[in-house]
């Protein structure tokens, strides 16, 4: 199968942070951010593979700053690397203050998505050709991360 550019999977989503997404201090729930992260990673992996995908794992997630009610969250995702049936997806989340337009990094995350056929069996996916310096750096270290994940799987 021919490899394809990481541009194919690149996806950007924005969300407005509203009161139901937040705690009594007006800051967003981590679980809400994780749901957004999982969704955009799935979309990026589906665009890359043109298959249904499931989340196999989410690497450790650190929340570096809080988004508050009225902030605009921007998520960006792309496929970093692929195995036979799995795709490693990078997701970056930034919050933007409505009045100042200042953007703050909320979190970054790496997820592994697996492509499946209609019977739920993992199916092969195309390789990925990284385009930017950041993507090439992440691509180079993918095998190491994959090994670490498989070591702690059971
Ligand atoms: C993840 C899952 C597809 C693995 O299936 P499996 O029968 O163990 O299949 P395999 O061992 O052949 O693994 C398939 C691929 O997943 C990768 N994989 C399996 N478990 C993984 C994990 N915990 N983290 C990262 N990658 C994983 C394997 O490395 C393999 O990748 P490759 O084909 O690129 O080499 C399967 O366990 C599953 O469907 N889990 C539920 C997923 C789900 O429903 N998620 C939503 C939230 S519940």
Query: Above 90 in pLDDT, residue 49?
Result: yes
pLDDT score at 153: 81
Query: Above 90 in pLDDT, residue 152?
Result: no
Q: Whose CA is nearest to atom 19 of ligand 1?
A: 56
Rounded CA separation 27/150 (Å): 34
pLDDT score at 92: 97
Query: Above 90 in pLDDT, residue 154?
Result: no
Rounded CA separation 69/113 (Å): 30
Distance 114 CA to ligand 1 centre (A): 6
Please identify, by atom number, the ligand 1 atom nearest to the C-alpha of residue 124. 33
Q: Yes or no: say if 129 and 6 are a contact pair by the CB < 8 Å rule.
A: yes
Please identify, by atom number, the ligand 1 atom nearest to the C-alpha of residue 86. 34
pLDDT score at 98: 94
User: Could you give the domains of the chain?
Assistant: 4-151 (3.10.129.10)
Q: Which pLDDT tens digit goes with each residue over 112-133?
A: 999 999 999 999 999 999 999 9
Distance 154 CA to ligand 1 centre (A): 12
Q: Which pLDDT tens digit goes with each residue over 72-110?
A: 999 999 999 999 999 999 999 999 999 999 999 999 999
- Token code pair at residue 100: 């100042």
Rounded CA separation 79/47 (Å): 9
Radius of gyration of the chain (CA): 16
Q: Is the dihedral of CA 21, 25, 27, 29 positive or negative?
A: negative
More confident residue, 42 or 151: 42
Distance 59 CA to ligand 1 centre (A): 14
Output the CA–CA distances (angstroms, integers) from residue 89 to 78, 98, 115, in the order listed.
Answer: 6, 28, 13
Q: Whose CA is nearest to atom 45 of ligand 1?
A: 55
């Amino acid at each position: 199968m021919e490899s394809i550019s990481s541009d194919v999977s690149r996806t950007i989503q924005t969300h407005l942070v509203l009161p139901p997404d937040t705690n009594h201090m007006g800051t967003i729930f981590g679980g809400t951010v994780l749901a957004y992260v999982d969704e955009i990673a799935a979309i990026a992996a589906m665009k890359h593979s043109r298959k249904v995908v499931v989340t196999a794992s989410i690497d450790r997630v650190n929340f570096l700053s809080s988004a508050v009610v009225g902030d605009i969250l921007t998520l960006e995702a792309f496929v970093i690397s692929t195995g036979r049936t799995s795709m490693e997806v990078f997701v970056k989340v930034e919050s933007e203050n409505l009045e100042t337009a200042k953007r703050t990094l909320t979190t970054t995350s790496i997820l592994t998505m697996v492509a499946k056929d209609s019977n739920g069996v993992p199916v092969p996916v195309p390789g990925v050709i990284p385009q930017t310096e950041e993507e090439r750096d992440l691509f180079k270290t993918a095998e190491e991360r994959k090994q670490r994940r498989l070591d702690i799987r059971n």
